[in-house]
Chain A
Amino acid sequence: SQQGEEDPQALSIQEGENATMNCSYKTSINNLQWYRQNSGRGLVHLILIRSNEREKHSGRLRVTLDTSKKSSSLLITASRAADTASYFCATDGDNNNDMRFGAGTRLTVKP
């Protein structure tokens, strides 16, 4: 069954603005990851946050995790047209061999 659910389904912003995407999940996790998918391509790993972490940064990306609310957010600062893609969260539950994804947030950054 689906684990992560991203919100919103679609997001359109202007270049230079910040983009925030949210993810909710249902069961306990060891870690939560965010991936990016360009149109017609495979998914690429962006960042991983472990269940005992609350915030993590990587370049223009900031991820937060609230295990009490079973939710995470991905913030992309100073967005660029090249950030246009779909963004997915993935959780592992109790089994590292069971990575579950949601339907993704489709981000469009207009130049």
Chain B
Amino acid sequence: DTAVSQTPKYLVTQMGNDKSIKCEQNLGHDTMYWYKQDSKKFLKIMFSYNNKELIINETVPNRFSPKSPDKAHLNLHINSLELGDSAVYFCASGGALDTIYFGEGSWLTVV
């Protein structure tokens, strides 16, 4: 069973569109994250949720809106996509021993 699963894995879309990436974890963790990895492989935290509550909201444009319907899900909705949004987006969840478990990533390409 996949611990942290995110869909879609690949997404190609035009500028100005709105898209969502879904994430689910079956590990029973309270904390979930969204990270963005750019072309230089730098991994930057975007959001952190603990038990459905927003804990961390880094300097991310408000076009990015996370939604956590329950503690097992953290979805990412992006409005008015821009070229610079092209990146790999990783969902992750946090364990009791502070280990982070990552999904396989969602490759977003904005054309």
Residues of A within 8 A of B (CB): 2, 30-31, 33, 35, 37, 40-45, 48, 86, 88, 90, 92, 95-104, 106
Contacts and interface: CB of A to CB of B under 8 A. Distances in A.
Number of contact residues on B: which range applies?
20 to 34
Contacts, number: 73
B41 A96 contact: no
Given A33-B100, A101-B35, A43 B45 contact: no
A58 B101 CA distance: 18
Nearest to A103: B42
Given A42-B102, A42-B103, A102-B42, 11 more contacts: A2-B44, A40-B105, A42-B4, A42-B92, A42-B104, A43-B92, A44-B102, A48-B97, A96-B31, A97-B55, A103-B40
Contacts of A40: 105
B98 A30 contact: yes
B41 A43 contact: no
A99 B44 contact: no
B98 A31 contact: yes
Interface of B: 4, 31, 33, 35, 40-45, 48, 50, 55-56, 90, 92, 94, 97-105
